[in-house]
Amino acid sequence: MSDEANEMMEVLDEHMVVKDDEGRPVLQVALLATLYFENAYKREVREAVVSCCEDYFRRCGHRLRWALHPERRLMEPYGKGKGSYPRAWLLGFGEDESFSLIYHGAEYDRGASSFLVHALGNERRPFVELGFLRMAFPLLWFADSSESFPEVMIEACRRLKPVSGYGGVGVVESPDSSIKSLYGPVVYQWAQRFPGLEADYPTSHSIWLRKGRGGNGGIKGVNWLTVLGERWVEEMGGADKIEADLSSLDRSFAVVRFDRGVMIQAGPRPQLGDAERNIWPELYVKLSKYLKPIRITRHRPFQTGGAGPRFDLERSQAWLRRFDDR
């Protein structure tokens, strides 16, 4: 990453964090990846989720502090309880059991941390459901690393074979719903100013990715990294056409193929933009317009009600369209 990009990341790391009255971070900006996948009840899919978690533990386990207990659904110290070892319990779950995994590195069990793994998968149902996996890293985690954030993302894609996904600079919130609701207006304000910042609510998104395009499925949108599963690749005309089209749009796009999909990288580094200065992430705008045929247009409110401006129904749907008129 360039010196200029590193400087931007340092500024974000220092200033885009919110702490509660006791000085504990409850909002954090990070490199955030979210992948959506089908058949979360199947053993081979759960094996892939476990493998992705173990990869994260290998990289960042020494920075994790909390793990969600699979039955009690309470946070316990990482490394000291059942929740810390998903291979020992998740693969034993039956197809009629859902699962939830949360690992994070905040000092406070309900705090926000740029070290995060979060996965959710429902039991077998008579209709298609989407599970998700999220991973977060500090903004400068890969600055001096032998691997990169895109490489980590594509590695997870090869394991999970996701339907869709995205990765870039995003907001990590508290795992506690009441705390998350309290600081919702801050997320909304950040997202309004920085159009390249990912506002991410995957529990809700996973529902609307199935029906948010005239009753059909679609992708949420684009970011620095945008993942298209095979159904969306086919709808866009195939991987060869996508590569050719994006190359014509801008030579800065890169397309990486994996089994059952592609990952599109919009330039060498993330872009945030700044709506207050009318600066928009140019590559994101181009990619969003190109992928408009498969983007969802309908969604319920990202955030629940409360004091202050936040992502209500109108604002949530407007955020999904934020690049269209640029």
What DSSP line would sit under 92-143, residue for residue? Answer: G--TT--EEEEEE--SSTTS--SSEEEEEEPPP-SS--EEEEEEEE-TTTTT
pLDDT at 7: 63
Per-residue tokens: 146? 């032998």
| Burial (CB count <10 Å: 0-12, 13-18, 19+), residue 121 | buried
Distance of CA 75 to the CA centre of its chain: 21
| 266/129 Cα distance (integer angstroms) | 29
pLDDT at 11: 64
Which residues are within 8 A (CB) of 232 and not within 5 positions of it... i.e. 6 or more apart?
163, 164, 218, 219, 261, 294
| 175/171 Cα distance (integer angstroms) | 12
- What confidence tens digit (pLDDT) does each residue in 191-203 have? 999 999 999 999 9
Handedness of CA 160, 164, 265, 153 (dihedral sign): negative
Helices (H), the chain: 3-15, 43-60, 86-89, 149-160, 177-182, 184-193, 202-208, 230-235, 239-249, 282-290, 313-320
Domain boundaries along the sequence of the chain: 3-319
pLDDT at 72: 87
Dihedrals phi, psi of 267, to nearest 5 degrees = 90, 170
pLDDT at 12: 67
Question: Residue 280's closest CA among 222, 236, 225?
Answer: 222
What SS3 state is found at 200?
A: coil
| Burial (CB count <10 Å: 0-12, 13-18, 19+), residue 259 | exposed
What single letter denotes the amino acid at residue 176? D
- What confidence tens digit (pLDDT) does each residue in 85-111 have? 999 999 999 999 999 999 999 999 999
| pTM of this structure | 0.95
Which parts of the chain sit beneath pLDDT 50? none
Which residues are within 8 A (CB) of 195 and not within 5 positions of it... i.e. 6 or more apart?
272, 273, 275, 280, 281, 284, 322, 323
pLDDT at 215: 82
